[in-house]
Structure 1
């Protein structure tokens, strides 16, 4: 190594949603286990969930005044040039004062100015791209990045081929072994023994159409002897919390103990964001994907379809929910064999060493 281990400093930037935050935390935890005396700093967007979640994970974070460009003309769009300039200047100050050895970006608005500032100071940068279709921030940053860790084949369409490393997406360590946590999960969520448990995941902010579906099917679930752990998202908590504690229904804005939620589940309904797909492969439970249609290049449908093609999950498009959901779900409830087959097949697709492999690439930039 080129310097004493204790002197390493890492900046990690990414956020806006759990899909960007948790990979960054997983990478930091892996690096910390290798270099216990290293210093870490996270950089996120002010007023976004990373400002809460990162300190909960035990790391310092600084916030930039930054947000994305809206598709329609809004006051926020008019503010964008000022936000960008403010964020670039603050990023330069952060880089100058912290003096990182490597800067790691996991996507989201804040990683743009921060990695741009690092590149301008010739500090090595690594991008971790979770999706099958990259966002504009990572596409722009890829030109100067030293290494790009990806979770899907075929991304040389967007990134310089010689910089790509196929690693998969980081998974939180507590999710890698959920099998032994069933009893703890039943106790945590106070589950009834003779009922199947449905876990509904709409992402950290929530998914309107998924929530509407679940609310419309509450009687259907009750008639099929299903108990429900329903993560409706922060934006929808007020709307759906009225169903909490009714007929074995639990409504949560956010699930802090995801390992126990996964351990409790017999069937999972989820969006098909990249981090969710990667986690669900590791967890190995039967999944119904309801991809969001409101994402660039329909990448959630592509993420889900890659799993469905291997007989490892079920995909229902939002446009097909009204016609197909009841029969598909009922089939899963009735057939233990189908549930077991889906669980076994999806587990075969897990890339459990992603976090370690990404940390290996970070280490190469230290030399």
Structure 2
């Protein structure tokens, strides 16, 4: 293992699914190497410009561009622009004397991977999706150090070492039961009522919103309270009133660990980051995979559903009637929820950041031994 890591560059941007594991890993680096220089790469238009500096991490902006669907080493619909982006990224690696580049996917990762390869800098790639994104498929041709988030990725034929997904300490260390009263007080919820938390991710999900709002009266009549995170793009939403139980609706929640602690059951999509978090904290969930794309959200949720830790419903089948006839009775069945919680917790893991660090240290040590 290296005696110390002096400078680590993290590449991952565009969406929270790329940014959050990168920042969780940054925290892990600082715990083990207090003096390490951590530099995050981003693009001017990415969500990282809002998140990374606000959390106190250094952000270097480099040009990056959308990728063609087929991954190859030249990528080359725009060879001049890609060369420019790679050159700019290499300047960043040189300026911070990078020991290693750790990539989490997204547009910004492509020039980072190419710059690391040309600079002969150790490159470690973390992938949590099935199938992997275009950037990481390309990057995997440049390094043998591939970290996977879930066992089902390996079972599906992806190459790499399963390490889990780096999670923020507030989630990785969450004790849901011990934090429940604090969490419900934080959201102005009743401490003793069965609680449904609904989230479609940072931007929301119309299907989840419409089904839950439509069932609000029935949920309230049954004594079930709701924390509904309806998404930043849905400011026109009007929350139900006078349902007979608390119904708290907000566009966004910064402290998702408290939302998880408040919940008896989560109604959500099946994004890899969401799945990693709720598996880890042992939260039962009803998964409604995003109906477009290549089916990765279904694949993310299916293993824990098969293990008894959740339920899966198609987007087209999530209706007001489904919430009233399936989800509502489940929320009234504390014994079944406890079984589901235990099953989800057995599938999850909380040490993804530490396991990834071990792999990064191996990559750096092997490069130094050459």
Aligned to 1:75: none
Aligned to 1:313: 310
Comparing 341-350 with 328-337, greater Cα deviation is found at 328-337
Query: Matches of 2:273 and 2:289 in 1, distance apart?
Result: 13
Asked whether 1:174 is paired with 2:170, we answer yes
Aligned to 1:76: none
Query: Matches of 1:194 and 1:353 in 2, distance apart?
Result: 31
Asked whether 1:357 is paired with 2:368, we answer no
Aligned to 1:267: 265
Cα deviation, residue 66, structure 1: 3.2
Aligned 1:173-192 pairs, distance under 5 A? 173-175=169-171, 176-179=173-176, 180-192=178-190
Query: Matches of 1:70 and 1:246 in 2, distance apart?
Result: 50
The TM-score, its normalising length taken from structure 2, stands at: 0.87
Partner deviation per Cα, 1:230-267 (whole Å, 9 max, x = no partner)? 2222222x222x32887533333321111111111111
Query: Matches of 2:258 and 2:78 in 1, distance apart?
Result: 40
Partner deviation per Cα, 1:87-108 (whole Å, 9 max, x = no partner)? 3332122122122101001111
Cα deviation, residue 2, structure 1: 5.3
Residue pair 1:66, 1:80 contacting (<8 A) in 2 also: no
Asked whether 1:38 is paired with 2:36, we answer yes
Aligned to 2:48: 50
Relative distance call for 1:190 and 1:156 in structure 2 (3 A) is closer
Asked whether 1:152 is paired with 2:147, we answer no
Aligned 1:1-367 pairs, distance under 5 A? 5=4, 8-68=6-66, 84-150=82-148, 151-155=150-154, 161=159, 164-175=160-171, 176-179=173-176, 180-236=178-234, 238-240=235-237, 242-243=238-239, 248-296=246-294, 298-322=295-319, 324-367=322-365
Query: Matches of 1:202 and 1:315 in 2, distance apart?
Result: 14
Partner deviation per Cα, 1:112-137 (whole Å, 9 max, x = no partner)? 11121111111001110011221111
Partner deviation per Cα, 1:195-254 (whole Å, 9 max, x = no partner)? 222111211222232223223333333233222222222222x222x3288753333332
Query: Matches of 2:208 and 2:336 in 1, distance apart?
Result: 23
Query: Matches of 2:168 and 2:325 in 1, distance apart?
Result: 34
Query: Matches of 2:301 and 2:11 in 1, distance apart?
Result: 27
The alignment partner of 1:170 has SS state of: coil
Which of the two has greater helix per residue? Answer: 1
Query: Matches of 2:337 and 2:308 in 1, distance apart?
Result: 11
Relative distance call for 1:82 and 1:204 in structure 2 (3 A) is farther
Query: Matches of 1:141 and 1:311 in 2, distance apart?
Result: 35
Task: Name stretches of at least 5 consecutive residues in structure 1 with no aligned partner.
Answer: 72-78
Query: Matches of 2:14 and 2:211 in 1, distance apart?
Result: 25
Aligned to 2:368: none
Cα deviation, residue 295, structure 1: 2.6
Cα deviation, residue 41, structure 1: 0.6
Comparing 332-341 with 222-231, greater Cα deviation is found at 222-231
Relative distance call for 1:214 and 1:90 in structure 2 (3 A) is farther
Partner deviation per Cα, 1:292-319 (whole Å, 9 max, x = no partner)? 12232x0111111111111110111112
The alignment partner of 2:151 has SS state of: coil
Residue pair 1:199, 1:265 contacting (<8 A) in 2 also: yes
The alignment partner of 1:235 has SS state of: coil
Query: Matches of 1:59 and 1:206 in 2, distance apart?
Result: 27
The alignment partner of 2:52 has SS state of: helix
Residue pair 2:304, 2:343 contacting (<8 A) in 1 also: no
RMSD between superposed Cα atoms in Å: 2.4
The TM-score, its normalising length taken from structure 1, stands at: 0.88
Count of residue correspondences: 352
